[in-house]
Each structure stands twice: as structure tokens, then as C-alpha cells.
Amino acid sequence: MAGQGKLHIVMFPWLAFGHMLPNLELAKIIALKGHLVSFVSTPRNIHRLPKLPPNLATLIKFVRLDLPKVENLPENAEATTDVPYDTVQYLKKAYDGLQQPLTEFLQSSNADWVLYDFAPYWAGAVASKLGIKSVFYSIFTPSALGFLGPVPVLKGDDPVRTKPEDFTVRPNWVPFPSTVAFRLYEIRRIFDSVRGNESGVSDVYRIGAGVENCDIVAVRSCSEFEPEWLQVLENIYQKPVFPVGQLPSTVHDDGDDNDDTWRWMKNWLDKHEKGAVVYVAFASEAKPSQEEAHEIALGLEKSNLPFFWVLRDRRGPTDLEVLKLPEGFEERTRERGVVWTSWAPQLKILGHDSVGGFLTHSGWTSVVEAIQKEKPLVLLTFLADQGLNARVLEEKNMGYSIPRDEQDGSFTSDSVAGSVRLVMLKEEGRIYREKIKEVKDLFVNKDRQERYVDNLLAYMKKS
């Protein structure tokens, strides 16, 4: 024990910033309550994480484990953002090589609990052998996990889904009407997550084994937002399930308002009217195809709205498919648009008064940040759980999806322009603008967020 009822909790997230950042937010709340957190990742990722506030520096310890070298994984690639989509499987293979170093750390750590992500499906079994309790902590929403199903289905022991089409309908373990399911084009893009890949283990198997081997499940959500999906998880997992809140982003401000990049962006945003600018960003993993990038660009041009587009034109230095914009696009839109190809301070941009809408991939951290800043959502999904997130947002009138071809997912510049204008300007888009403000308290209320984490910690203390 860490002493006087204080816990020592080890956190081990998957090597994607969409996973590491919500883990870090939870670590900060746990540490603020006086518990010790060991946050385990690789050296380069730890270096790239946001700075901790000084009052937490002694309570959150970063533990660096060197990522093993594996064939086909480029030098210095330590996160999904560093490699093209088809190379992520080798990153998972390298990550599985951390089993022994993690075991050795746990043996010497005097830890009370381990919180682990979906990828290290072996971590629960390792913890159990060492007499350490474990939490399968998922940054996927309860609706996404609930749709994916019980452990036997996830591990392939009960093959109810064998082809992509099987993922486009509500499964029989969901006892209420719901549109939460993949579109055919969404599941086709990521079918390797189900079928398996070069890492030797499919993503859904990892989730299944992770749930099977843990003591309890924690999930990024709040019961007021999706109580019926949390109940589905209790039913299919037959284990305690704890929502830990939506974990809104908290950025430690160390005076970086003065940095030149943000000053330039702020000056540009300041020149535009309140609510006029559409912000476009698909986070660190979702890279559009060349054809999709063209249609997005031409759609922004046709919308006649000012835009700030954070464009991920390649995934790491080994990505040979560098996206190109339509000929003459930047010249034609120079007066009202910015295309930014490196990291941008998303929370600050969303917080600016001139931003009136957010064209997003539906990754949940981006969704939470948009709600924090009351920006209505235009949805364009690419990978992973994004399609399932988009269905929830559609159902709750919190986001509008750009119309696409059901088979191949293609869309037109006209549908991009029309969707953005609908959500930001038109009367029929008012519902999206208002709904985002309505749900804000559910997502960012500090007392509620604290209560969820208190409930989890109370259980962990008495177990």
C-alpha cells in the first residue's frame, strides 16, 4: 500500500494519443486526491505528453519502458501518429513485447491496482499472478463496447459475426431500439480489427481477453448520458462497471499564450466575426484518402465560410502518400482559409469566439472538447470506434453526419458544403447548435466528474 489508505495505481495506456491523454486526465484527478500514479509508456511518448501542473509532479511518476524493435516498424515510431495505418499492427507487436518489462516493473512497484487499456490484453493475467488487482479501463464509450459484445463473441468463441454486414445491425444482446452500428463502409475499412493482423491478435480479441482477465471495468462515460448502455455492459460482462466521467481536457497553462504559433492563430481568428469560422480537424490518426481530402477542400471552398483546417497530410516520416490539395485551392481561399499541417492547440482554437462549428472524425476526446467549448458538430468518420460514436451523436441530435454512399463511403464537395452550412447557419441546424449547449453540464460539471472518480476509488480502497 502507498500508506494511510492511499493507493499506488499503475496506468498502462495504448500507444495512441487518443488513449494516453484521457488516461492522463484520469491520472490527474486520482493524484489530486492524494494517490500515487505510475504512468507507464515509452520514452518518446512521455516526452510528448502535456506538462503536469507543479502540484502533481510528485504524485504522478512517469515510468519509461523502451519499445522493443520489431521488423517493419520504423525507427523512433512509438505511437500510432508516427506510422501509416497499415503499420500500426507492427506497433502492436512491439507493444506486446513490453509484457516482460511491465511484469518486472510491477514486481518491484508495490502497486495496489493496474489500470490497463484494450491493447495489453495480457496485463490483467500478469497482475493477477502477482497478486495485484486490475481494471480494464476503456476510453471507448459504453455504446461502442456494448455494440461489440460479450467476451465469447469478442474472443471468437461464439461466431455470431463472420462478415462485415453482420456489424451493420443491432446485436441481440442490446435489448432496446438503437441505430448504434457500423455503416458498411466503416466496418470494411477496419475489418482487420476483427479478422486479425500481423500482430497475431485482433483488436476485438484484445478487448475480450482484457475484460475477461480484469477484476472490474472502468469506462469513459457518465450514467446520466447513456445509462442503458452501461446496463448492457453490466449484463454482458457480469462484472462491476464504473463510469469515470467524460474527463474533459485540462491544460496546464505555463504561459504558452505567448508562444508565436498560438499568437499567430489567435490574430487570424480575431479578424473573423463571432461564430463564422468552421474548424476542421481529424486528430492524429484519421487521415483522409487523397480523393476525400479533395472533396473536403472543395467543399470548404464552396461553403463560402472562413475555415481553419488542421490537415494531417501524412502519418509519420515513412508515410509515402502525402496528401495534396486541389490545384489553386490555397490561392483561391487565401483570404478566408488556413490549412495548417502541424500540431495545433485544439482546445484553444475551439474556445475562440469566431469558431462556430467543428468538422470532426467523431473521436471521443474531440467530441468532449467541442462540448466543453459549445461548438456544434459536423461528423465525418474514418476509423476505429468513430462510426459508433457518430451514431450516438446522431441519435441524441448532437451532431450531423455528412451524407455518404453506403457502400464505399464516398461523399461530394457539395455535401460537405451543405452540411457545414446547415449546422452553422441554417434554421434546421439550430437543434445541433442548441443541443451541444444543453449537454455541456453533463460533460464538464466538476462535482459530477469528481463523484465518479470517488466512487471508483472507494471500491478500489475496500477491495
Q: For every one of its 463 residues, what pLDDT tens digit does the chain have, with 9 covering 90 and above? A: 444 589 999 999 999 999 999 999 999 999 999 999 999 999 999 999 998 989 998 999 999 999 999 999 999 999 998 998 889 999 999 999 999 999 999 999 999 999 999 999 999 999 999 999 999 999 999 999 999 999 999 998 877 888 899 999 999 999 999 999 999 999 988 887 777 677 789 999 999 999 999 999 999 999 999 999 999 999 999 999 999 999 988 875 544 555 888 999 999 999 999 999 999 999 877 788 899 999 999 999 999 999 999 998 878 787 778 889 999 999 999 989 999 988 899 999 999 999 999 999 999 999 999 999 999 999 999 988 899 999 999 999 999 999 999 889 999 999 999 999 999 999 999 999 999 999 999 999 999 999 999 999 999 999 8
Q: Which residues contact 130 (CB under 8 A, 6 or more apart)?
A: 103, 106, 107
Q: What is the DSSP string of 403-420?
A: P--TTT----HHHHHHHH
Q: pLDDT by residue (tens digit) across 230-264?
A: 999 999 999 999 999 999 888 755 445 558 889 99
Q: Which domains does the chain have, with CATH numbers?
A: 8-250 (3.40.50.2000), 256-442 (3.40.50.2000)
Residue 205, Cβ neighbours under 10 Å: how many?
18
Residue 366 has phi, psi (to 5 degrees) of -65, -40
What is this structure's pTM?
0.92
Residue 162, Cβ neighbours under 10 Å: how many?
10
Residue 109 has, within 13 A of its CA and on its CB side, a CA count of: 28
Say if CB 316 and CB 90 are below 8 A apart: no
Q: pLDDT by residue (tens digit) across 52-80?
A: 989 998 999 999 999 999 999 999 999 99
- How many residues are there in the chain? 463
- Give the model's pLDDT for residue 283: 80
Rounded CA Rg of the chain: 22
Query: Exposure string (b/e) for 60-76, b if CB count within 10 Å is 16 or more?
Result: bebbebebeebeebeee
